[in-house]
Structure 1
């Protein structure tokens, strides 16, 4: 079994259009959630989200590319460019054949789908663009990244709702670890902030109209976000031999299914995933210093997640810092675990724990150290990143500080 390290990171989200600006915003506890701005937003009862407002498509892509790239693909390509450039890898020859792409998304090209439904059903048009299907398909971003960077190895898309990115990164980790791949480009991307995307979520009645307040007693729901984060997972010996800058090491992964309810989370399912990642990483429970929580800001998720952490870590749970950066960038659904992994890298590499902002009132059912409102300087060597999805699908990743 080979060691796996992260040698590149890239992102686009409501906090920043690259990794440095995103981490700066996390350190400052800045909120990227704002008023939504798109067609027919006045027909929605939910009018806030982690929307990327300063995205200029025409400055980033040419007309031919725009015809092929949905917004979620644009985000993925931009994040992948930053990550691959940081890694210093050039994919050709054997490395090209032994490297691939695994990305997570839940909705795929939802903006394209929304626009074209309007054209056909509302405007009465009988023709759509010939590239609608390749633009909206869930694997579009994965395929375009593979073509852009000559990645000819194992490549596919994972769609497991809010756990999509963690599942994608877990599969990439295992492929490098077992020797199937030398390097994998992995992460997730999502762009659901369009009329149809928000309207659908409104129907679930789990959305907040004013703010995302994970773990706070007065929390009243989640807030959607959009964006992408992409990483280069690389064989440690390969990275070491070429003198790569190693951001951190990926050391464990586990996934479970609640097999109980399509929307209500299960403490047992979450706990088995957390314990599984710790076991896979060959860790003692008291080695975990920080957990990036799923922390959606809903009543059900937050208390269930805290109970699962307490069950797994026992007395050590009181000493572990656990925060939800969704309070800042919103819930990116299929892309959320990837953006949240940036907070884990920041904790390990820079010794800064991202806060849970908007925290106002302690909840007895969330009685852990949730790093309220202000980032914290702390030395941690091991972190976990949780993702628990609708459908009862759970995925937890364990990382260690680079040696």
Structure 2
């Protein structure tokens, strides 16, 4: 019998195609052995059906202290520390369930859809600023970062003057090249600001989510952690999805007309962009007991990395998966995860993406890249995929 040597997680994306997963990842079986940053030997899942199975199976834990890092971060390779109070993404039931129930009702489809009008107003303000500047600018700070930053700051009750600071801190926290001290400093600065905001909201509540949370049974420490988590997640992920999404559309100009065909077409188009780009690459679970999966036994204590970017390109789930097709039915993609830890803010992200992208291409029908596509600086070593900048231009009025 041939012995297969476990290999690290492939991370190098193919040159010239910034939207495709790492080529080595696509070559791996749907379930294979993988060596982690600290030498731990666990598993890698690339198949769509297996990824959904692991994400939904409560025999696999999300507890931080059990996890191993799939790739090394500067200055840190070992197991994660236990989740702090309120860090619900690093907990299992019943602790996770408590937070989930508290927050889920505040991010329902209905409630997020009611925000569409306000998201439209914020988008229009950003597009007005673009028009006032004139052709030739970096779309990232004025649009891709600005729209979600203004939305999440308003939702949580954070002064909009602080949005650039939060964007910088969120990027630092997700930079795999940043040292441990730099990452911790960014998180501490963000947490310190939220702590002051929580005290202010508790004393003088306003009409926002953070004020609403202070009236519940969360402790001060839990409120700070939850607020920091929601703010960071609401900024960096959607900002990068907008930037990379526009980049993808501008390099597939035949697809852009779909964005002007009305709400149903835009809704389907956004789901396809989410599938095709999969900006959140991976998730990790740890077996709490021996689990048989695809003919293999995952031993208790072994880590399993779910490669969502590969699962979303699985030809057994999506025909011709490497083609961006805004008219395809992309239901079932794993860009927001699956199971009990599925992204809490997914409906908010969907509303922002639909409104902002449709508004952009309606307002600037001649929008195009101002540099060759291979000169656009891509975030190649970060937890969240995206672009550092996106130089664009259009025909002046």
What range is the shorter-chain TM-score in?
under 0.3
- Between structures 1 and 2, the one with greater strand share: 1
Structure exhibiting the larger radius of gyration computed from Cα positions: 2
- Between structures 1 and 2, the one with greater helix share: 2
